[in-house]
Amino acid sequence: MSEVQLIARHRMRAGTENEVLPLVEQLADAARTEPGNLAFEIYRGMRDPTTYVLLERYTSREALTAHRASPHFQQIVIEQLVPLLADRVVEEFDAPAVEAE
């Protein structure tokens, strides 16, 4: 079974940084506790500080589906975060699971 790598590219609406960034931290903290989450990293744009990228990795497509159905995703992302964004692009990739040596 393949793991899933997700890359979410977000651009905040001007002046919303003080609202958005704490929400993103809350989302990361909650997502990292999910049983199917392998990684959740946040990177802020160097050239454009209104942008950030979320690099998320899940054990399976089912784990990603469970993440999106979770109460914290619905409350933080859908209800609070999305209305504060100017742009949101999400890419999903199958990633072969790496076996321990």
The neighbour count for residue 82, using CB atoms within 10 Å, is: 11
Q: What is the DSSP letter of 17?
A: H
- Per-residue pLDDT tens for 2-35? 899 999 999 999 999 999 999 999 999 999 999 9
Identify the pLDDT of residue 50: 96
- Per-residue pLDDT tens for 45-75? 999 999 999 999 999 999 999 999 999 999 9
The closest of 69, 74, 68 to 23, measured between CA atoms, is 74
Question: Nearest 5°: CA angle at 83, between 11 and 36?
Answer: 75
Domains observed in the chain: 3-90 (3.30.70.100)
Identify residue 13 by its one-letter amino acid code.
R
Average pLDDT score over residue span 85-97: 92
Identify the pLDDT of residue 100: 59
pLDDT bin (cut points 50, 70, 90) of residue 96 is confident
For 25-55, give the DSSP string.
HHHHHHHTTSTTEEEEEEEE-SS-TTEEEEE
